[in-house]
Amino acid sequence: MAVLTGDLIKSRRLSDLELDKTRRALCAAAAEVNEWQPGAVLGEPDFFRGDAWQMLVTVPKPALRIAVYMRAFLLESGLSDTRIVIGLGAAEKVYPKRISLSTGQAFTLSGLGLDNLTRYTKMSIALSAHCEDLAAWLPVVAQLCDVLIGHWTTRQAKIIRLALAPSEPTHDEIAQSINPKVSKQAVTKILAGADWHVLRSVIEQFEKTDWMKLCAP
């Protein structure tokens, strides 16, 4: 399984209404992910400590795509951004209605990873120590993804959110889904400016990896 643990950036600057809207945006993003693959996210994001949240992805392969989607959704809204750590591993006791109370390796890795995240990055991926080589490389991969995300404009975040759908919509389909509509050429230019081709390659490679096998004790 994969656990995503995050906290909202500069949450103290948000009013109570803005904080509520941001939480609802995260829930809406999780609901859209479940439209890709029913049951991909168990329950809803669970909020704790005011600005922190946690969600359980039932299979690890789409975890990076989902993490990027959550950030794109928030950046598009203009409300906030979030730090995220993906923990890959097993789950022991799961509480679907209060995910943050659940236990297991994936929860521990994700939670501790967020606590140890430095101010230089907003994303990381945590694996158990027995996967020594990958455990060292994956945080670097996540940091490079974060560098790309950190340069997105609101408009780029919107287009990439649509491009992240596993159905792989064409540039023309993305253009037609936006209101007011834009040209296919505009979508292509926006995606190129956001280095989408690089991020897509990373996500595709992540999804080709058998994480359940690699994370097995």
pLDDT digits (tens, 9 = 90+) for 44-77: 999 998 899 999 999 999 999 999 999 999 999 9
What pLDDT is stored for residue 213 in this prediction?
Answer: 77
Q: Domain of 105?
A: 2-214
Please state the separation of Cα 203 from the chain's center in Å: 11
Question: Residue 217 — very low, low, confident or very high, per pLDDT cuts 50/70/90?
Answer: low
One-letter amino acid at 175 equals A
Per the structure, how many domains does the chain have?
1
Choice between 200 and 130, residue whose per-residue pLDDT is larger? 200
CA-wise closest residue to 107 among 148, 162, 56: 56
Whether the CB-CB separation of 142 and 84 falls below 8 Å is answered with no
- Which one is predicted more confidently, 65 or 96? 65
Instruction: List helix spans (H) across 37-131.
Output: 63-77, 105-115
The CATH number that applies at residue 110 is 3.30.70.270
- Please give the average per-residue pLDDT across 10-17, as a whole number: 88
Q: Which segment of 14-18, 84-88, 132-136 scores lowest on mean pLDDT? A: 132-136
Question: For residue 40, is pLDDT > 90?
Answer: yes
- Given this model, what pLDDT does residue 11 score? 86
Question: What does the mean pLDDT of the chain come to?
Answer: 93
Q: What residues have CB less than 8 Å from 44, skipping those under 6 apart?
A: 27, 30, 31, 55
Q: Which of 52, 67, 50, 49 is nearest to 3 (CA)?
A: 67
Backbone angles phi, psi at 54, to 5 degrees: -150, 140
pLDDT tens digit sequence for 145-198: 999 999 999 999 999 999 999 999 999 999 999 988 899 999 999 999 999 999
pLDDT at position 10, please? 87
